[in-house]
Amino acid sequence: MSLFLSTSINKVDKKGRVSVPSTFRAALGDDVHHGIVIFRSLQVDALDACSLKHLDILSQSLEKLSLTPEMYELIETTIFGGSVQCAIDADGRIIIPEHFMEAVGIDDEAAFVGRRRTFQIWNPKKFKAFETKARDAVRSHNISLSKIIADASALNGGE
Amino acid sequence: MSLFLSTSINKVDKKGRVSVPSTFRAALGDDVHHGIVIFRSLQVDALDACSLKHLDILSQSLEKLSLTPEMYELIETTIFGGSVQCAIDADGRIIIPEHFMEAVGIDDEAAFVGRRRTFQIWNPKKFKAFETKARDAVRSHNISLSKIIADASALNGGE
DNA sequence: TGATAACCCATAAAATTCCATGCTATACCA
DNA sequence: TGGTATAGCATGGAATTTTATGGGTTATCA
């Protein structure tokens, strides 16, 4: 079971190269050879990324939603039209296209944030601010993790 | 199934290594090979930990809760972005990332506290204080374990 | 031909593996 | 029963490997 977990901050060198965290590369498995797909997040000021295979799964599940043709068109253009496939070199690095870097304000450092099947790439400072806010919001909604876990256990017959 | 029970305090060496109590490793069963997942508790000043499999169950149950997309987004970031997968080495040890140690104030000793399907990792002194306070709170509410057990039995038709 | 991307190599830091030691609880035996 | 071997565990340190990151060199393609 390989998921993208945890957050790590890596440097972007003069040539625009960044190391993809080794744990993420491991999670990709054989898919590393096909590189990763990057597109702008629709929700937050960051980039979304996943394996090529996962993008395929995403598009399939999109088809199952009953979206209006206009909405579908919109998503197609935004996500698939705006996505780029990035090769991962022998040293585990990618080059994020210039316009993406600018769009989300990444310069000399990039934060890789795991989100299970996908991950995000942030400007570390922006992410930190977002994380702090997110943490407070989750806490203030009194969503207790242990409660969720208890529910999870119940769903699985208490096993 | 095997649960995480009881508390034990182990030393953190110079390299940041700590032994996971053998009883906890036993409770993990085959899941030891995937290591454990650690994240900051949303409630207390400690770390939460569970098996990778349990995190998967957790994420499934998250999907089933009727959360707003925004809240879902926040939780995903907080939990999955804020968690790390820690490998358990051949000697039964893990390395807790530096920033986690700092965040909850663990230095040379760590208390492993069983919480059935998950466990927590505390600074031993902080845990002791917390435990004392919790105990007092429970007592002041006049809650007794035997009463809880009696109530539970009644719910199950005296079985 | 000039910029960009792909490839190759070097290095320091960090993580992982391997081995040694002392301690404790348990099993075994006279 | 008392003493001794044994196995498992926590812990320390050394050796080895992996990773991130920098730099140079060669293809590639407008």
The Cα–Cα gap between B91 and A127 comes to 36
Arithmetic mean of pLDDT, B106-124: 95
Asked if B61's CB is within 8 angstroms of A131's CB, the reply is no
Condensed to tens digits (0 to 9), the pLDDT of residues A16-70 reads 999 999 999 999 999 999 999 999 998 899 999 999 999 999 888 888 887 888 8
The better pLDDT of the pair B147, A156 is held by B147
The per-residue b/e assignment along A80-95, b for 16 or more CB within 10 angstroms, e otherwise, is: eeebeebebeeeebbb
Q: Is B108 a residue whose pLDDT tops 70?
A: yes
Which bases of chain D are contacted by protein, using any atom under 7 A from a CB? 8-14, 18-24
- Tell me which chain A residue has its CA closest to the CA of residue B39: A6
CB contact under 8 A, A137 and B64: no
Return the pLDDT at A151.
61
B65 or B20, which is more confident: B20
How high is the pLDDT of residue A158?
A: 45
Closest CB from A6, A43, A143 relative to B73: A43
What is the pLDDT averaged over residues B96-118? Answer: 94
Cβ of B50 and A149 within 8 Å?
yes
pTM of the full predicted structure?
0.89
- DSSP per-residue codes, A99-145: HHHHHHT-SSEEEEEEEBTEEEEE-HHHHHHHHHHHHHHHHHTT--H
Tell me the CA distances in angstroms from A140 to A29, A92, A134, B70, one per residue in order: 38, 39, 10, 14
Asked if the model's pLDDT at residue B35 lies above 60, the reply is yes
Mean pLDDT for chain B overall = 89
Chain A residues whose C-beta sits inside 8 Å of any chain B C-beta: 1, 3-7, 23, 43-44, 113-116, 120, 130-131, 134-135, 137-139, 141, 143-146, 148-149, 151-153, 155-156, 159
What lies within 8 Å, CB to CB, of B149 at 6+ separation is none
A62 CA from C6 C1′ (Å): 35
